[in-house]
Amino acid sequence: MHFTSESSADGVTQRRFTLDGVPGVLWQPDGPPPGGRPLVLLGHGGGQHKLVPGLVDRARRCVRELGCAAVALDAPGHGERPRSAQDERFATEIGELIAAGRPISAWVARHTAALAERAVPEWVAVLDALGGRAEGLGPVGYWGLSLGSAIGIPLAAAEPRVAVAVFGLTGHPSQTEAAERVGVPVEFLLQWDDELVLREGALALFGALGSREKTLHANPGGHLELPEPQLLSSERFLARHLGRVE
């Protein structure tokens, strides 16, 4: 883990890094890190990257209000990372399909599954690297919707260090098998009028999650219209399970 820059604002230190060529950002409180602080992994949505404003706001709240550290990575083909010919095709074709009013969920699922196969080992490497530092690794939560869930669900299925997760805005039968292997508490967010995800698919994916403790929160509106109070309360769900709030 090679740190490349550091800045601080309002008590939060933001450090950019690369790990095996993958660019990421780590947010922590200013000052020397104590041991065992909880860590929130932040997965961004499709077409976004590790420093989009909503994600940075969430990271800063995780540090300032919930007493956690937070980390984000650029997903394969996103942010500062090179795009493969397949990534380029995807970015072009999804716009065309939406414009043509064609169903896209199977096609999106196929592409994001390919991204997830590359992204899951990258997150595991981040946990290994952070766990190898002097302060060690506290309990870990994952927060990611849409592409962030397409990556996070197989990550949580494979990685026992992930202890709690917020998922949502996704749902395709190809994700069922990984979902069944998730056993940690999950809050799953669904947008009732999601134009990119079939409602039945999202409900079925929630149903498939193997977690004994799981809760589905559905609200009206489209894929990008999640109500702000719902986003904030999902962060508190994570923090509660990481032992940071009541």
How far is it, in rounded angstroms, from Cα 141 to Cα 39? Answer: 6
In the bound state with a second copy, the residue whose beta carbon lies nearer, of 51 and 218, is: 218
176 binds a second copy (CB under 8 A): no
CA angle 50, 89, 71 (to 5 degrees): 10
Residue 244 binding a second copy, by CB under 8 A: no
C-alpha to C-alpha distance for 233 and 89, rounded to whole angstroms: 36
Q: Which of 35, 95, 173, 207 binds a second copy (CB under 8 A)?
A: 207
Q: Does 206 bind a second copy (CB under 8 A)?
A: yes
195: contact with a second copy by CB under 8 A: no
Of 51, 203, 231, 245, the one binding a second copy (CB under 8 A) is 203
Which CB sits closer to a second copy, 114 or 218? 218
Backbone angles phi, psi at 8, to 5 degrees: -140, 140
Q: Which residue lies nearer to a second copy by CB, 73 or 153?
A: 153
Residues paired with residue 143 on neighbouring β-strands, in sequence order:
42, 166
Q: What are phi and psi of 216, to 5 degrees?
A: -105, 125
Between 72 and 179, CB nearer to a second copy: 179
Cα–Cα distance between 175 and 146 in angstroms, integer?
Answer: 12
Q: Could you list the residues that contact a second copy (CB under 8 A)? A: 190, 192, 203, 206-207, 212-220, 227, 230
